[in-house]
Amino acid sequence: MEQKQINLRDGDCVSLWQSEVVSSYSDSALDIAKIFDVVIVGAGITGLTTAILLQQQGKKCILLDGNGVGFGTTGGTTAHLNTFFDTTYPEVEKDFGDGEARLFAEAGKEGIDTIQELTRTYGIACDLEYREGILYSETEKETKQLLEILEASRRAGVDAVETRDNGIPVEMQFAVSFKDQAQFHPLKYCKGLLQEFIDLGGVILDQAFVSEVSSQDDLQIAHVGEQRIAGKSLVYATHVPPGVTIFNFECAAYRSYVLGIKLKNGDYPEALVYDMQEPYHYFRTHEIEGQPYLILGGEDHKTGHENPEQAFKALEDYTRKYYYVESVDYKWSSQYYVPSDGLPFIGLIPGESNTYVATGYNGNGMMLGTIAGKLISDLILGKENKYQKLFSPSRIKPVAGFSEFIKENADVAYHFVADRFAAEDIDSFKDLAAGTGAVVDYKGDQLAVYKDDQGKITALNPTCTHAGCTVKFNAEEKSWDCPCHGGRFDLQGQVISGPPRKNLVGKNVIN
């Protein structure tokens, strides 16, 4: 087995976690004819947790990632571990019921407990620490909401009390303290899980993008380039399943922005802190090699709908309003999926007998990705799991016109509009600054054009290969982002995240 070092993620900005290099393993001697018990697609927290729990139980698993461990949102998370969620307990009580709110709260606690248990069992040094979590209000309206959250949290069995201090230099009206919350280093944790998975006999292939899955004789067959990898069950741990699916209607893609900051006065928060603005800000501290960093996130918006440069600027302006900033050492953004009814979709894909999905975690995928690992592994092992019904993807009601939508999408022709694109034509792009990109008109068609620092132009068809929307340039992460369902492509047009299965078509032109 060949071992190499991979620490990339799905964007140009570097997250605080990436100094932790995750070794990845590609098995060049892999016996392709072998039938695995479970093929797991995606090596973030969901895929790794599922893989280790199944391998522990004697299932033969293979983990396939189009890139490497932590390349997706797990490498761009902020890794707060909470017993409360973006979907609040009053919302869950109202939409699902009191018992369901209690069960949701149990999932939060069990997610943290499971991370703690795996960390202890395998001796994973991932900086796991228990902290207080503080949610605070700044207006009358927020205070009213927060009082309702406090009451509903208690009814759901969550240990929450009023507190007089939010632990940060932002003036507050009211605050609630949640006990036994936690934080950790997500890539150190993933690295530990990966090592144990391999030690237990699990197989991982990185750079293994699954472009298609077909069925044959009760087997699910993942297509990776020319390779065919067969399993009795298949799990999409890809954050959102690839292709045009019902989940595109049920989960909206959002980006969130994060700064990693050194402070002048050591005023780093002890607790995990959240305001109630929309979108909210979230705060915590993490030490990397003895240096503390304030990690401050927020300015979320739908992917491809706002300007990422402005989002970072707004976040930095907000930070400087309250903190004495010595330096902004890290800034990065990442993607998450907001479920239509507030709860994640974890379990069998509707209409399938051995293909599983885990998506729609909102900003709570550390706990919910862990619970997904437990729930899906229990389903595959034929065990009962108390969250099966609450998180079942089958609760999705059929969407009117969905099959028409798939049919139409299948007809989209993703040809490159400028096959005979000539170097002299790039005159029309001379106004484009080096290091930037834009969708421009070109002889009656549109092109997604990027000019690198040497003036070399890459021109792509801007039509997203997922559902035919037009991509937008993300100047911060240097990617082409689709505003419809969160498909994202790198500067060469390769899929980097979201539901697309095919790359953007295009070519390079030397200036």
Ligand X SMILES: Cc1cc2nc3c(=O)[nH]c(=O)nc-3n(C[C@H](O)[C@H](O)[C@H](O)COP(=O)(O)OP(=O)(O)OC[C@H]3O[C@@H](n4cnc5c(N)ncnc54)[C@H](O)[C@@H]3O)c2cc1C
Interacting residues with ligand X (CB under 6 A): 41-47, 64-67, 71-74, 76-80, 209-210, 237-239, 242, 256, 258, 297, 334-336, 361, 363-367, 369
Closer of 264 and 305 to ligand X (Cβ): 305
The secondary element (H helix, E strand) that includes residue 221 is strand 219-224
Closest CB 319 distance from ligand X, rounded Å: 15
Paired with 40 in beta bridges are 63, 235
Closer of 280 and 442 to ligand X (Cβ): 280
Paired with 470 in beta bridges are 463
Closest CB 166 distance from ligand X, rounded Å: 17
Closer of 175 and 258 to ligand X (Cβ): 258
Closest CB 233 distance from ligand X, rounded Å: 16
260/288 Cα distance (integer angstroms) = 11
The secondary element (H helix, E strand) that includes residue 45 is helix 45-56
Closer of 390 and 459 to ligand X (Cβ): 390
Within 10 Å of residue 100's Cβ, how many Cβ atoms? 16
Closer of 78 and 479 to ligand X (Cβ): 78
Nearest of 143, 137, 345, 119 to residue 245 by alpha carbon: 345
Structure tokens belonging to residue 312: 């970072």
Closest CB 202 distance from ligand X, rounded Å: 16
Structure tokens belonging to residue 144: 């009213």
Nearest of 509, 508, 460, 507 to residue 488 by alpha carbon: 460
Closest CB 445 distance from ligand X, rounded Å: 28
Displacement of CA 36 from its chain's centroid (Å): 26
Paired with 345 in beta bridges are 359
Query: Which whole-number Å values give the CA distances from 306 to 15, 331, 473, 493, in the listed order?
Result: 21, 17, 11, 21
Closest CB 280 distance from ligand X, rounded Å: 11
Closest CB 444 distance from ligand X, rounded Å: 34
Closer of 72 and 447 to ligand X (Cβ): 72
Closer of 73 and 166 to ligand X (Cβ): 73
Closest CB 496 distance from ligand X, rounded Å: 8
469/487 Cα distance (integer angstroms) = 10
467/489 Cα distance (integer angstroms) = 14
Closer of 366 and 449 to ligand X (Cβ): 366
Are the C-beta atoms of residues 394 and 352 closer than 8 Å to each other? no
